[in-house]
């Protein structure tokens, strides 16, 4: 039933994507923001308590949802939870929108649309840099929004799905480096790093197996991943770079004015700088990786049920 629910939830995401209004994850985000305003302290312990309450609450909700022993309601709960936490189709649509704007020669509009995917300053990016940022985001978010939740769904069912998405959402909200969240967001960032370890490695492995150049993907993963500041984005972005025969990484600018921060990321891959057509290739690779991960999660759930 868990395998069937995961497969149904993945299919629902393909067909329905995320609703424009009333998404459960958006509702969780509003509740988390309200709690942050009340609980914020420039202190790691306060941030850890904040994460424990919100992630623990999501896991508890999942336990209640799985309490029934009847197979069909249990499978339905898994399907609904999987649909709610998966974001592969919405991610692909954002990539397609950027691709369409670039094809139409609307670079300025593509820069603006790119802000839906990345936190960096996009105002001065060249077309190649827009493509690079979009491909990097497709790679990382295929891991975060597709593969990792499927892994935790296979391992822990509805509690795993909801708990993972809660932790990942909190990392996006408070886990980044800023004066306000350096300490308060520490626990959210570290928990997200731990929970994404298996999903990011599976994503990188699938990119190697399903990419256009397996040898280059493997070499880039082994050689370049450690240069990325994120222990999970590094393997995924490096494997995608090698699989597509392009070069990712480089200079990123975040914020503006006094808050501006410049990061010089390690270069990943041996290929040329990305061009417009590489965005379509990256989208195809991301879709193949997502489908393979759904199949692997279903098989893993069956194997676990018989263990």
Q: What is the pLDDT of residues 227-246, one digit of tens each?
A: 999 999 999 999 999 999 99
Do the Cβ atoms of 175 and 47 come closer than 8 Å?
no
User: pLDDT of 144-176, one tens digit each?
Assistant: 999 999 999 999 999 999 999 999 999 999 988
User: pLDDT of 256-273, one tens digit each?
Assistant: 766 778 888 899 999 999
Give the pLDDT of residue 258.
65
Calpha distance 148→293 (Å, rounded) = 9
Residue 141 predicted with pLDDT over 90: yes
Pairing between β-strand 261-264 and β-strand 251-254 as defined by DSSP bridges: antiparallel
Query: How is residue 280 written in tokens?
Result: 């379509």
Give the pLDDT of residue 99.
97
Domain ranges of the chain: 2-305
Note the residue count of the chain: 307
In the predicted model, what is the mean pLDDT of the chain? 94
Q: What b-and-e string marks burial along 30-60, b requiring 16 or more CB atoms within 10 Å of the CB?
A: eebeeebeeeeeeeeebbbebbeebbeebbe
Model-level pTM? Answer: 0.94
Q: What are the residues whose beta carbons fall under 8 Å from the beta carbon of 70, sequence distance 6 or more?
A: none
Residue 81 predicted with pLDDT over 70: yes
pLDDT bin (cut points 50, 70, 90) of residue 177 is: confident
């Amino acid at each position: 039933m868990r395998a069937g629910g995961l497969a149904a939830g993945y299919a629902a995401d393909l067909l329905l994507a995320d609703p424009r209004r009333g998404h459960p994850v958006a509702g969780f985000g509003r509740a988390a923001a309200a709690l942050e305003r009340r609980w914020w302290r420039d202190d790691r312990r306060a941030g850890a308590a904040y994460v424990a309450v919100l992630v623990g609450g999501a896991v508890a909700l999942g336990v209640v949802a799985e309490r029934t022993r009847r197979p069909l309601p249990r499978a339905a709960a898994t399907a609904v939870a999987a649909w709610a936490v998966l974001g592969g189709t919405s991610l692909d649509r954002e990539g397609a929108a950027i691709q369409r704007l670039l094809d139409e020669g609307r670079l300025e509009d593509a820069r603006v649309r790119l802000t839906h995917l990345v936190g960096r300053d996009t105002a001065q990016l060249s077309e190649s840099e827009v493509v690079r940022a979009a491909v990097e985001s497709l790679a990382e978010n295929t891991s975060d929004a597709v593969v990792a939740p499927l892994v935790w769904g296979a391992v822990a069912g509805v509690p795993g799905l909801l708990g993972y998405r809660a932790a990942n959402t909190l990392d996006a909200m408070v886990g980044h480096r800023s004066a306000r969240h350096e300490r308060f967001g520490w626990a959210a960032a570290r928990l997200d790093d731990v929970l994404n370890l298996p999903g990011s490695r599976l994503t990188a492995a699938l990119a190697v197996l399903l990419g256009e150049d397996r040898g280059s993907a493997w070499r880039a993963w082994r050689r370049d991943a450690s240069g990325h500041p994120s222990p999970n984005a590094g393997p995924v972005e490096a494997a995608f770079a090698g699989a597509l025969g392009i070069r990712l990484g480089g200079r990123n600018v975040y914020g503006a004015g006094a808050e501006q921060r410049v990061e010089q990321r390690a270069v990943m891959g041996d290929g040329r700088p990305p061009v417009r057509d590489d965005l379509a290739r990256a989208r195809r690779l991301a879709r193949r990786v997502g489908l393979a991960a759904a199949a692997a999660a279903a098989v893993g759930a069956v194997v676990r049920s018989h263990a």
